[in-house]
Amino acid sequence: MPPSEPPVLQGTVFENYALLSLDDLCRMCAVEAQRIVELVEEGIVQAREAGAAPLSFAPADVRRARIALRLQRDLEINLAGAALVLELMDEIETLRRRLHREVGR
In a domain? residue 7: no
In a domain? residue 70: yes
Q: Which domain holds residue 51?
A: 20-103
Look at residue 87 in the predicted model and tell me its pLDDT: 96
Reported pTM = 0.76
Radius of gyration of the chain, Cα coordinates, nearest whole angstrom = 17
Cα gap 37→60, rounded to integer Å = 16
Look at residue 6 in the predicted model and tell me its pLDDT: 75
Lowest mean pLDDT among 37-51, 72-86, 89-103: 37-51
**Residue 44: which of 30, 16, 27, 25 has the closest Cα?**
25
Q: Yes or no: say if 42 and 83 are a contact pair by the CB < 8 Å rule.
A: yes
Look at residue 2 in the predicted model and tell me its pLDDT: 59
Indicate which CATH number applies to the domain containing 90.
Answer: 1.10.1660.10
Burial class (CB in 10 A: 0-12, 13-18, 19+), 32: exposed
How many domains in the chain?
A: 1
Look at residue 85 in the predicted model and tell me its pLDDT: 97
- Reported as a single tens digit per residue, the pLDDT across 24-77 is 999 999 999 999 999 999 999 999 875 655 789 999 999 999 999 999 999 999
Say how many C-beta atoms besides its own lie within 10 A of residue 59's C-beta. Answer: 17
In a domain? residue 15: no
